[in-house]
Structure 1
Amino acid sequence: MTTVSDINTIKSKETTLVQLWLFFYVFSFFIPAINLDIGFSLKIFMPLSVLTLLVFFNRLKLNINTTDFLWVIFICLGFVSVSLSIDLEKGFRLSLGALIIYFCYLVFRSFLFYCVERNIKVESVFLVVALIFSSVSLILYFIGLKSIGINVLSFEGQRVYGVLVDRAIPRLIGVVQDPNIFIYYASIFIFYFGLKKQKAFLDILCLVLLALCCLLTVSRGGLLALILVFSLVFINSFFRFLLRPKFTLSFFAGLLSLIVFIYIAVLFLSSVDDVISIIERRLSSAASGSGRFEIWINGLSLWQQSPLFGIGWHNFLYYNSNFFMRDNYAHNTFLEVLVETGIVGFTIYFLFFLSFFYSILKVINSDSRKIYLLFTFVAMVLMLNNLSLIISEATFFLMAVVYMSLYKIKLSKS
């Protein structure tokens, strides 16, 4: 005969297994460098999503909301634009990638809903995932530095373990494939731990490791986005302090941390180029945004050729290479969307982000502790102005956490 104690033991074991599954599932989103090229990058979270759907099939709720609907419309429009473009192969591959990541997002979000129903705190795995993410990235970086040695110039443009040599500077890429995109991935952890009111020692350690990783990426755009958003955080705290003056330790610790981070970032970026020839190259690239301004002008001229529906999804690189002799992406996601899918596609993409933003505001209105979601979103939007990242699992990971939070609020009210 099964007793109440036996039932509770079984439930406890099931909860432990779900928590372990949650950890591996979350972690799989933050190791994009581990992938298999099968015409597109098959990343670990993709087969894991299929496995999750099979294992938890009867317990998952694959519902669709307004933000999802807008993304599906955008994918459909992108797919149609590809059929009218020159580089069909790349366009169809991006369309396939967008569908795969959207499917993975739906499964992951549904799994988070299931975790909420079992009273499992999803953010509880953030600490372990962030510690592994940052520490492994640093280890790979220093292994890469050791492999490169003093022959930095001979490794120009190469990835060596956790290092990318870019204009004679060893930049951290860690478990991501690009130093600029690394900060994009790290941002949700940075703001989660940075805005956490009661920080334990491991929280602070994690934040320090993440900050060090971000500094070692030497990403001007990424670091600037972090500085700007943390400045907004401080301004928000300052005005709240004026309304209700309260000299707390956390207020002064936050102010001091912001000042120290900005100082170290500026000092690091200004002193990292200790060779005159490297300084000249970095200054010349900085003056033109590493050539971005010229790329953006080229992009606008391409958009004028087909302003309504664009030149075709994932065709910017082809046009820029063949017509302007620049083998570069747009380095601006919103401009790339405008050029490739026209005003129609850009409008839908903008509405997608607007709906996403509105959902975050709904979460914060009910639970102010989730303010980190808003600042992560703002930082990501700022970074997208310097990145070509139309589809990214990091964006959809944030979306899943946002809608998981809304679902949790809904359950608490019912």
Structure 2
Amino acid sequence: MRRKYGHDIFSTVIELTMFLYILTLYFFGQISELVVIPNSFALILIVSILFEVLLKGGTIRINKVLTSFALFVIISLLSFFYALDQTVAFVKSRTLILVFTLMLSLAAYVASLERVKRLMNYYIWSGFFLSIYILRSAVISLLNNSYFSRFGGELGNENAIGISIGLAAVFTFYFIYAERKLAYILPLTVMIPSALLTGSRKVVILFLFNFTLIPSLYYIRFQKIKLRSVLKFIGLSLLIVFLLYYAIFNIPVFYQSIGKRVQALFVFSTGGYVKDYSLVERRYMMDSGLRFFSEKPLVGHGIDNFRALFISVPGGKDTYAHNNFIELLVDVGILGFIFFYLTHFFALQHLSALSKRGSKSVAVMSYVMSSIIISYVILSIAQVYYYDKHFSILLAISSSLCSSEKRK
């Protein structure tokens, strides 16, 4: 009885700490002065999980995803010794060690479908609370006739804020499709507009991709292919696209936040002239990055050292590449690039196998995880996420779920 009571205490501490970690990561993870708050909860979470594992006499299982990420971290750490700017390389190496330790801990703890579902709920609640905050800011701005092109900037990078909300929104699809809990439509309808108000073009792509792929996989696997079902699905998909299009380009507050930016992206992609300097700058970063990569293609210039090179070129500044492919190739070369993206390959490989042999709940969970991982790969051309804690958690729980189901 005492042993079971001890387990219950540790489980309660872990679950509470996990929720507080994700919640503070949403609100403070992008603020350099306050990032110590989620990092502190991360350390408490890691220690609590290790105690729980020791209490049960369990072991931490290393799978292909974790092994690949460990090799990527080792390459990144070694790059410190030849980095142009060893200070930033040291800081990023420290972050990667924390991320990998967190991945190991979560992979050991979140080893069942029920625990994964609880973790997804923590994400949904955190995304919902952050969405309420952003919607509140938008309403106050409208009432005061104040002009803001994007919302959420006071919490850090608007793109990162938007993607984190988008991630929580996509998680609701599991509960809507697998468990038929229509109550999750409410937080979904709150998170979609708030994510758009951040002005992140990547969120639009994230929504369109996941809101199409996940239902497609679900219908192919669990619904009989009839003309009526196909037409229903096509109609629903077109409705989602139309509603997003209408909101972005016809509702003033959304047009100011995201519509203009999407419009500029389309014009820029077709070779037209745009006033959006960020698009021109990112193209310049990519061209510069390819040149930096050609100088040291195998091992790169050192982790997080794209900024040390870009600041020295005409018109350059101290910043990251805004492109995960370019950032990794410049920082850790082909070797680091391969091992990082091997984590994606192994995770998708295991999730695909799991979706075919698992229950309906496990299959839908696999579709949700796979869809998000693929969308991150697509968005690699527009964001840097190799050290992103949200994505690292996703990889950890995906690999853990696959391992636990395989042992059954």
Q: Same fold (TM over 0.5)?
A: yes
Query: Which of 394, 401, 406 is equivalent to 2:397?
Result: 401
Q: Deviations over 1:146-170 (max 9, x none)?
A: 4895565xxxxxxxxxxxxxxx513
Aligned: 1:194 with 2:173: yes
Question: Residue 160 of structure 2 corresponds to which residue in structure 1?
Answer: 181
Find the aligned partners of 1:392 and 1:271 in 2 and give their Cα distance.
27
- Is residue 382 from structure 1 mapped to residue 373 from structure 2 by the alignment? no
Find 1:203's aligned residue among 184, 196, 221: 184
In structure 2, the CA distance between the partners of 1:16 and 1:351, relative to structure 1 (3 Å rule), is same
Q: What is the TM-score when the length of structure 2 is the normalising length?
A: 0.79
| Post-superposition offset of 1:313 | 1.0
Identify the residue that residue 88 of structure 2 maps to in structure 1. Answer: 90
Cα RMSD (Å): 3.8
In 2, Cα distance between equivalents of 1:278 and 1:204: 27
Partner Cα distance (2:398, 2:347) in 1: 9
- What does 1:95-174 align with in structure 2 at a 5 Å threshold? 95-113=93-111, 116=112, 120-124=114-118, 126-127=120-121, 129-139=123-133, 142-143=136-137, 146=140, 152=147, 169-172=149-152
More deviation, 87-96/183-192 = 183-192
Match of 2:300 among 293, 296, 310: 310
| Amino acid paired to 1:353 | H
CA shift, 1:52, in A, is: 1.1
Q: Corresponding residue for 1:165?
A: none
Letter in 1 for 2:102: C
For 1:264-303, list aligned pairs within 5 A.
264-267=247-250, 272-273=255-256, 284-286=274-276, 289=279, 291-303=281-293
Q: Any unmatched runs of 5+ in structure 2? A: 268-273
Q: Residue 58 of structure 1 aligns with which residue?
A: 55
Partners of 2:338 and 2:198 in 1: CA distance: 33
- C-alpha separation in 1, matches of 2:386 and 2:215: 30
Q: What CA distance in whole angstroms lies between the structure 1 residues aligned with 2:253 and 2:275?
A: 14
Q: 2:21 aligned with 1:28, yes or no?
A: yes
Change (3 A) 1:47 1:402: same
Residue 334 of structure 1 deviates from its aligned partner by 1.4
Query: C-alpha displacement at 1:188, in angstroms?
Result: 3.8
C-alpha distance in 1, partners of 2:406/2:216? 31
Q: Is the 8 A contact 2:369 2:398 kept in 1?
A: yes
User: Are positions 1:214 and 2:195 aligned together?
Assistant: yes
Who is 2:206 aligned against? 225
Distance 2:344 2:180 in 1: 31
- CA distances 1:349-401 after superposition (whole Å, capped 9, x unpaired): 23232222212223222332221111111222222321122211111211222
Letter in 1 for 2:151: R
TM-superposed CA distance for 1:304, in Å, is 1.7
Cα gap change, 1:132/1:84 in structure 2, threshold over 3 Å: closer, same or farther?
closer
Deviation at 1:122, TM superposition (A): 3.2
Size of the alignment, in residue pairs? 383
Cα displacement string for residues 29-66 of structure 1 (whole angstroms, at most 9, x for unaligned residues): 34324369699856244222243145413335322112
- 1:249 and 1:15 map into 2 onto residues whose CA distance is 49
Give the counterpart of 1:332 among 300, 323, 335: 323
- Distance 1:52-1:246 versus aligned 2 partners, 3 A rule: farther
Q: Distance in 2 between matches of 1:288 and 1:296?
A: 12
Please give the alpha-carbon distance, in whole angstroms, between the structure 1 residues aligned to 2:13 and 2:138: 31
Say if 1:340 and 1:144 are closer, same or farther in 2 by CA, change over 3 A: same
Instruction: State the distance in 2 between where 1:390 and 1:296 align.
Output: 17
Aligned to 2:344: 353
Contact 1:303 1:310 in 2 (8 A): yes
Q: Which AA in structure 2 matches 1:135?
A: F
For the structure 1 residues 96 and 128, does the alpha-carbon distance in structure 2 shift closer, same or farther, using more than 3 Å as the test?
A: closer
Give the partner amino acid of 1:178. Answer: N
Distance 1:307 1:263, change over 3 A: same
Q: Aligned to 2:332, which of 341, 353, 364?
A: 341
Gaps of 5+ in 1: 1-6, 153-167
> 8 Å contact 2:134–2:194 — kept in the other structure?
no
For residues 294 and 402 of structure 1, the distance between their equivalents in structure 2, rounded to whole angstroms, comes to: 35
Distance 1:400 1:376 in 2: 13
Q: Do 2:158 and 2:200's aligned partners in 1 also have CA atoms closer than 8 Å?
A: yes
2:299 aligned counterpart, secondary structure: coil
Which residue in 2 is equivalent to 1:392?
A: 388
